[in-house]
Amino acid sequence: MRTVKIVTYSRLSQSSENFIRENLETSAALDICGALDGLTDDNLKMMIADPIGTGVPVEMEDGSWLYVSHGQIDQQAKKVIDKLKASGAETVMMCCTIPWRSLEGLPGVICPSLVMESTAMSLLPEGGTIGVVQPDGITKDEEIKHWKALGVPVLAITISPGENSLAELGDATEVLAAQGADLIVLDCLAFGRDHWRHVRDLTGKPVILPISLLGKVLDEAYG
């Protein structure tokens, strides 16, 4: 069994590691680290996004959130992955559904956004519409761009898996379905099986759950 290196976009917390191990449905061995491990709050404040909507939310030591430059996190992740590959890692997965352009196409590197895009397009009927559930209203307009770039109609809503209830998620995705979404993507790795099941049962639409999809990809290739 091959060990897969998992790199989160932030500093790795114990709660994040526990969630990944409990919800990434794979038999592959996992070794997890964060792209921003070792950086202090002061370091991160030097990487603040401008404008804020182009950033990525990173939790600070006091529990507050800072929107850090997506480009600088991308560069930092590339450095971490280069070190992992140099030390012998064969397979690395970026544990975030946001596109990471500097990592796309690198040998042995799995980018979730590419897996999700190809899966969505293979399931979408001709002339169909993708409904995307984004976790952050501040960055929604930026993060929806790669879905729109696929050249198909896209509808988007904002629901946080950590802050909104299942009922709120259900209500919002029922609206997506009523507006014409043929397929629903829960566009964050923090969405879990309960979210997937609730949306599928309420809407009757195919629902893509990234953390489950990626676990199946890892199992097929490396489990």
pLDDT at 4 over 80: yes
- Whether residue 91 is predicted with pLDDT greater than 90 in this model: the reply is yes
Could you report the per-residue pLDDT of 31-82, keeping only the tens digit for each? 999 999 999 999 999 999 999 999 999 999 999 999 999 999 999 999 999 9
Q: Write the DSSP symbol of residue 213.
A: H
Total residue length of the chain: 223
pTM, two decimals, is 0.94
CATH top-level class of 3-111+213-222: alpha beta
Please tell me the distance from the alpha carbon of residue 183 to that of residue 25, in angstroms, as a whole number: 22
Longest Cα separation, the chain: 50
pLDDT at 1: 67
Cα separation of 215 and 77, whole Å?
Answer: 21
Summarize pLDDT for 99-112 with one digit per residue, the tens. 998 899 899 999 99
CATH 3.40.50.2300 is held by the domain 114-208: yes
Share of the chain above pLDDT 90, in %: 92
Matching fold, domains 3-111+213-222 and 114-208 = yes
- The mean pLDDT value for 116-127 works out to 97
Confidence of residue 95 (pLDDT cuts 50, 70, 90): very high
- 166-204 b/e (C-beta count within 10 Å ≥ 16 → b): eeebbebbeebbeeebbbbbbbbbbbbeebbebbeebbe
Domain boundaries, the chain: 3-111+213-222, 114-208
pLDDT tens-digit map of 143-152: 999 999 999 9
Cβ proximity of 28 and 2 under 8 Å? yes
DSSP notation for 81-131: HHHHHHTT---EEEE-SS--TTTTT-TTEE-HHHHHHHHHHHHSPTT--EE
The beta-strand segments (E) located in the chain are 3-8, 29-34, 55-59, 65-69, 92-95, 109-110, 130-134, 154-158, 183-186, 207-208
pLDDT at 23: 93
Of 222, 197, 194, the residue nearest 93 (C-alpha): 222
Give the Cα separation of 191 and 41 in Å (integer). 27
In the predicted structure, residue 2 carries a pLDDT above the cut 90: no
In the chain, what percentage of residues exceed pLDDT 70? Answer: 99
CA atoms of 160 and 169, how far apart (whole Å) = 8
User: What is the pLDDT confidence band of residue 221, given thresholds at 50, 70 and 90?
Assistant: confident
Phi and psi angles of residue 161, each rounded to the nearest 5 degrees, phi first: -65, -20
Residue 173 banded pLDDT, cuts 50, 70, 90: very high
